[in-house]
Amino acid sequence: MKIPAVKGFRDVLPDESIRWWVLEERARAVFHRYNFREVRIPIVERTDLFQRSIGETTDIVEKEMYTFADKDGTMLTLRPEGTASVVRAYVEHALAQHERVSKLYYFGPMFRRERPQKGRLRQFSQIGAELLGRDDAAADAETLLLLYDLLAAFAIEGAEVQLNSLGCHTCRPAYREALVTWGRAHFDELCDDCRRRVDQNPLRLLDCKQPGCAAIRDSAPRMLDHLCAECQAHFARVRELLRREGAEPRLNPYMVRGLDYYCRTAFEVVASGLGAQNAIGGGGRYDGLVRALGGPDVAGIGFALGVERLVMVLGERALEADVRPEVVVLPVGEAAEALAVAVAHRWRTGGVRVEVESAGRSLKSQMRQADKHGARFVVIVGEDELAGGALTVRDMDARRDHPRALGVHLTAEELRAALARLSAA
Ligand code: HAM
């Protein structure tokens, strides 16, 4: 009997994983330009870390966490996101005492028990960044520019960055009250979930996808009209700095994010062609979080991109990375095996991507195999070649043979030069 993968958990096979790899390589390069450094955080954390950071009344904590009791009774959870873990590590290792600003990035799987659908999985992967130790608007602007640069490096086209401000502990309570009042006044028109949200998590009234709720949303009060003077000035400065760099995210006063730790600047990246799950990334400022998790009063801002959704947006579009073999070596007959292994080993050690077929099959069937690898050159090691001390090259693109064109002692460099000569000939 076959054992299938668990619903919402999927395999990434080589044709797709190459795209992941390219995304990660490019992301690393951009992160390093911004002087972010990698942090590797565990996949399992104590459950209360997420309860305290993401928020008890969020969908994630209420319904979506993979939580279990360890053998000693400790409640543990598979991380549903990375920010809480990064902040936990930041506090645990007292990074604030060692550096004024910490800029950290991470890659890895996250787990949320959502209803699986296109673009929504129970295990998905994020590319994330967190900047701790700065509360000035320039930090927000730089974080958003980092996000724009990542999208450009991935060659994502047609994605829209949406921006909002969620206020702070000074101005949000009054806004929250205004929303509750509005929610109560429209109680009959709200969906069941939103009726619960009115008192528990009224901000989430704004991004409900139910048609009835969306239809009356325009009449709801907006955070942007309730910002205190400091939040207003901060938001204006963020936008001004971005505008100077030619980045103009679209204001979306109804975007509230699904995690409770945010304040002030919040943003999402929305892509077309993905259907309902169209957010390829999201983030924002979380100034109270480090303190809430037992650390000093240090501000933070960050974001995460969903790798599966990025890969879907990129679709079949070629990502330049070439990991196909450059050369396939075909040993024809058992006697050729040792020489094939030796030349391949020498060339690989010198940096050439080489595949070796197994000896003992007909040249024809080996050729068919070689073709599948997509290499331009096939090097044949047969009896004639063994006797003559030189190898035959077949140029698969030009469909041409070059009998005994390569000496058996060629180094990787000499091989490259010889192949370049042959392709020019
Ligand atoms: P988030 O908006 O919950 O933010 O997730 C970020 C991205 O992860 C989403 O935009 C989406 O692309 C992807 N994602 C989320 N859930 C799923 C799913 N079930 N299946 C596939 N992809 C998914 C956070 O996680 C915050 N920690 C971001 C952040 C970092 N804020 C500040 N710093």
Got the DSSP string for 236-252? HHHHHHHHHTT--PEE-
Residue burial 188-200, b: 16+ Cβ < 10 Å; e: rest? eebbeebbebbee
Closest CA to 164 of 242, 269, 267: 267
Closest CA to 135 of 93, 92, 104, 168: 168
Indicate the top mutation candidate among 309, 312, 314 to test ligand 1's pocket, ranked by most ligand atoms within 8 A of CB: 309
Protein residue whose Cα sits closest to atom 13 of ligand 1:
306
Q: How far apart are CA 183 and CA 149, in angstroms?
A: 39
At 318 the pLDDT is 56
At 118 the pLDDT is 92
Protein residue whose Cα sits closest to atom 18 of ligand 1:
120
Cα–Cα separations (whole angstroms), residue 116 to 120, 147, 270, 277, 348: 5, 27, 19, 11, 43
At 333 the pLDDT is 85
Q: How far is the CA of 85 from the centre of ligand 1 (A)?
A: 14
Residue 253 · residue 223 · CB < 8 Å = yes
Report the DSSP pairing between strands 279-285 and 250-251.
Answer: unpaired
- Return per-residue pLDDT of the chain as tens, 425 residues: 999 999 999 999 988 898 899 899 999 999 999 999 999 999 999 999 999 999 998 999 999 999 999 999 999 999 999 999 999 999 999 999 999 999 999 999 999 999 999 999 999 999 999 999 999 999 999 999 999 999 999 999 889 999 999 999 999 999 999 999 999 999 999 999 899 889 888 988 998 888 888 889 889 999 999 999 999 999 999 999 999 999 999 999 999 898 999 999 999 999 988 888 899 999 999 999 999 999 999 999 999 999 999 999 987 665 655 678 999 999 998 889 999 999 999 999 999 999 999 887 888 888 888 888 889 999 999 888 888 889 999 999 999 999 999 999 999 999 999 999 998 87
Task: Give me the numbers of helices (H) and strands (E) for the chain, helices first please.
Answer: 16, 16
Q: Which two tokens stand for residue 16?
A: 């797709």
Q: How far apart are CA 285 and CA 402, in angstroms?
A: 63
Which residue's entry shows tokens 């058996």?
Answer: 408
Protein residue whose Cα sits closest to atom 20 of ligand 1:
120
Closest CA to 308 of 282, 277, 284, 272: 277
Q: How far is the CA of 281 from the centre of ligand 1 (A)?
A: 6
Which amino acid type is present at position 271? A
Which residues sit with their C-beta closer than 6 Å to ligand 1? 81-83, 112, 114, 120-121, 124, 126, 128, 130, 258-259, 279-284, 302-304, 306, 308-309
Q: How far apart are CA 111 and CA 64, in angstroms?
A: 8
Q: How far apart are CA 37 and CA 107, in angstroms?
A: 12
At 421 the pLDDT is 94
Closest CA to 102 of 135, 133, 73: 133
Q: Closest ligand 1 atom to the C-alpha of 257?
A: 2
Q: Closest ligand 1 atom to the C-alpha of 286?
A: 32
Looking at the whole model, is its pTM more than 0.85?
yes
Q: How far apart are CA 147 and CA 142, in angstroms?
A: 9
Q: Closest ligand 1 atom to the C-alpha of 282?
A: 2
Segment (H or E) for 402: strand 400-407
Measured in degrees and rounded to the nearest 5, phi and psi for residue 72 equal -90, 10
Segment (H or E) for 75: strand 75-78
